[in-house]
Structure 1
Amino acid sequence: MTLSPTLTTSPLTCSLDIYHSGQQLLERRRSVNENGNDGSLYELSSPDGIRFGYYNVQSAEGGEVVINNMHPFMQLSYAVSGSKSYTIDDGKKEFATFQQQQYNYLFFKEDQIRLSWQPNKHLEIFELGLSPELFARWLPEDHPFYPVFAESLERNVSSPMSKHNLPLAPKFSNILYDILHCPLENRYKQLYIKAKTVELLSYQLEHYEQYAGEQMNNPARQLRKEEIERMYMAREIIVNNLNSPCSLIDLASQVGTNENYLKSHFKAVFGNTVFGYLSEIKMNQAKEMLLEGKSVSEVSALTGYKHIPHFSRAFKKHFGFSPNVLTRSKGRGD
């Protein structure tokens, strides 16, 4: 997605073409500090039919972008923080709305798309666009998405692939940040972006296939809307208190359930235990801080570890390599 370089309170208009002319990557990275908006943008376009966008913005009055889409494409859409909404048919039809830590697959036909976000909220989102040919090449024909995708493409109808947004697992976020912080350049960066896109799509397609199978085989496991909302509340409490987590009993009490329901419902919604989810977030944040140039000792303290060896062992167990590997790649030791 290529957005206008100026963010204002009135709707912006820009064009999007998933097909890339030329043989090289096109990139744009810039800071924004104008008209009540503050943040950063990064956009990348690959000849492989991949578009990647990262938008991290605080808007005093919210905003809206009108996107003139020139060709049908598949968009993997993620909300890390804040919320965003898409409308189609000249803004008359609500198409998709995302709350923080949600994602979905959106098929867009050649059409005008409106993306809007709320005022006074920190918005951090990723967008990963794929040409229909590329997505079809990587999507197994027996996957639950395939009939929806094939029908949308054949009838040329914009459609979400999943009726409900999916939880944004830390593993998926980690790959998105890997793409954002790719250390390579030129053709090797293009290869890296493609490989990471395949990796991300593989994990996500498997995740949805398991989710769909569980719901089909175990109808009783389907949770009510209020039960799912409680689990999102629990996750928000976890994310906001990473270094001083409360007990399972306290967490259950805060969201209005009991410990047993918390454990079973949380895993049903997010595919991980409460402790496992907390650990995964902390390790991913640690990796981000190391890539930004912080030392192992700094990151160890910031992630709540009193002893560096304990942090290093946990990091290596999670990623398969020592945190010192990342500090060496940045040209600094501890």
Structure 2
Amino acid sequence: MSNADINKVMMKVSISLNDIQEFFPEMQRQTGFYYQSIAKEKFLNFSNQLGKGQIYNLHLRDGIELYLQDWNLEENLIIKANTKYSSLGLGFCLSGNLEAEVIGSKVDLSLTAGRNLLLHSNAYKATMEIPARQNLFLVEMSIDSQIIKSIVEDECEQIDYSLQSLIECQDSKIYAWSGITNPAMKIALNQIINCPYKNLTKHFYLESKTLELVSLKLAELTDSKTENKIYKKLRADEVERIYFARDVLISNLENPPSLLSLAQIVGLNEHKLKLGFRQVFGTTAFGYLHQYKMERSRLLLESGLMNVTEVASAVGYSNFSHFTAAFKRKFGINPSALKSRF
């Protein structure tokens, strides 16, 4: 293909940003995409001749932004961004691939399906290429470092030194941590994409899921120093035992075994069960159990077959107020308020 032919199928956008909020109007100005802003939501819809798709942004609260990007272009798109603000970003690629790099640096920002990237970015220049005729779907979030610091709390000393530095705002360099999107992350991503709520409930729900994803990613970095060697030693039969442990837990919601008892049941030592469970499911054994209880209770309430008290009992809560508090922390709404909608 000649250079002239390449130019015909390549669309280029060059953006200089002082603030992330400039991205949408700048993209509209340079591409002709339709831009709409309603309250705390922004939409950038692609024109038919360039392809199909949408970039959606929700301002969750000061310091937290959520983005859903669905690209299906007829022409390749290259975006050159001169970013002049500082942020901590986390991106997940669900399909397609994104080629991106920091200009003048070895930092690779590329993403492929099933992978994620945590990035600390001060002022920098980057180029991104979005190939045509593919469905690229990204879920991204921008988080203030002080919010990250509050999540990490006392475990900061266990994290990679460079991540400690950026959380403490002591380092002006650019760092990127790439990883595989684990099952727990996939569950939260699916819940974000298929959010069942509207208005204020939607807002609270998406904020909780965004912070959950950040926490899961930080858990990888927190544990990486002690767990990586163990992960490499897990055999296929040990992974099967981890899944067996999961099944034992969810089969005994009302009276789950202790971690030691669970390890004895599945034939692993307690230490390997703990580390293996985090490797396979991206969270602790009882963190997974709590997540399972909450998701099951939501589904039961939405089914309309049980009242709130019955649901609480079905997922193993003997104390109704404890169930209500846990449900509200997870979804940002009281279970009785959700029940009344169905």
TM-score for the superposition, normalised by structure 2: 0.56
Q: Decide whether aligned partners of structure 1 residues 118 and 105 sit closer, same or farther in structure 2, where only a CA change above 3 A counts.
A: same
2:155 corresponds to which residue? 142
- Distance in 1 between residues matched to 2:75 and 2:124, nearest whole Å: 26
Aligned to 1:63, what secondary structure does the other structure show? Answer: strand
2:128 corresponds to which residue? 115
Q: Decide whether aligned partners of structure 1 residues 87 and 219 sit closer, same or farther in structure 2, where only a CA change above 3 A counts.
A: same
- Distance in 2 between residues matched to 1:110 and 1:33, nearest whole Å: 31
Equivalent position to 1:167, from 170, 180, 185 = 180
Alignment of 1:91-130 (within 5 A): 93-130=106-143
Identity fraction in percent: 14
RMSD, aligned α-carbons = 3.9
1:321 corresponds to which residue? 297
Aligned residue identity for 1:157: K
Asked whether the equivalents of residues 183 and 280 of structure 2 are also in contact (C-alpha less than 8 Å), the reply is no
Confirm or deny that 1:158 pairs with 2:134: no
1:244 corresponds to which residue? none
Question: 1:120-168 CA distances to partner (integer Å, 9 max, x unpaired)?
Answer: 22101111111122222222353443521243442311111x3xx2111
- Distance in 2 between residues matched to 1:129 and 1:16, nearest whole Å: 15
1:272 corresponds to which residue? 280
Asked whether the equivalents of residues 17 and 85 of structure 2 are also in contact (C-alpha less than 8 Å), the reply is no
Question: 1:36-68 CA distances to partner (integer Å, 9 max, x unpaired)?
Answer: 321222111233201111111112333222334
Deviation at 1:70, TM superposition (A): 3.2
1:42 corresponds to which residue? 56
Aligned residue identity for 2:42: R
> 5+ residue gaps in structure 1?
1-7, 224-266, 274-279, 281-315
Equivalent position to 1:198, from 208, 211, 220 = 211
2:103 corresponds to which residue? 89
Confirm or deny that 1:66 pairs with 2:85: no
1:306 corresponds to which residue? none
Q: Decide whether aligned partners of structure 1 residues 32 and 19 sit closer, same or farther in structure 2, where only a CA change above 3 A counts.
A: closer
Aligned to 2:65, what secondary structure does the other structure show? Answer: strand
Asked whether the equivalents of residues 41 and 59 of structure 2 are also in contact (C-alpha less than 8 Å), the reply is yes
1:10 corresponds to which residue? 12
Aligned residue identity for 1:10: K
Q: Which has the larger radius of gyration?
A: 2
- Distance in 2 between residues matched to 1:43 and 1:84, nearest whole Å: 19
Deviation at 1:102, TM superposition (A): 0.4
Q: Name the count of aligned residue pairs.
A: 233
Aligned to 1:156, what secondary structure does the other structure show? Answer: coil
Q: Decide whether aligned partners of structure 1 residues 63 and 222 sit closer, same or farther in structure 2, where only a CA change above 3 A counts.
A: farther
Asked whether the equivalents of residues 82 and 100 of structure 1 are also in contact (C-alpha less than 8 Å), the reply is yes
Aligned to 1:11, what secondary structure does the other structure show? Answer: strand
Asked whether the equivalents of residues 50 and 129 of structure 1 are also in contact (C-alpha less than 8 Å), the reply is yes
Q: Tell me which protein shows more helix as a share of its residues.
A: 2
- Distance in 1 between residues matched to 2:142 and 2:68, nearest whole Å: 12
Deviation at 1:210, TM superposition (A): 3.9
- Distance in 1 between residues matched to 2:63 and 2:227, nearest whole Å: 33
- Distance in 2 between residues matched to 1:82 and 1:222, nearest whole Å: 30
Asked whether the equivalents of residues 87 and 143 of structure 2 are also in contact (C-alpha less than 8 Å), the reply is yes
- Distance in 1 between residues matched to 2:129 and 2:95, nearest whole Å: 14
TM-score for the superposition, normalised by structure 1: 0.57
Aligned to 2:67, what secondary structure does the other structure show? Answer: strand
> 5+ residue gaps in structure 2?
1-9, 23-37, 236-274, 282-287, 305-337
1:313 corresponds to which residue? none
Question: Which moves more between the two structures, 120-129 or 107-116?
Answer: 107-116
Q: Decide whether aligned partners of structure 1 residues 171 and 142 sit closer, same or farther in structure 2, where only a CA change above 3 A counts.
A: closer
Aligned residue identity for 2:13: P
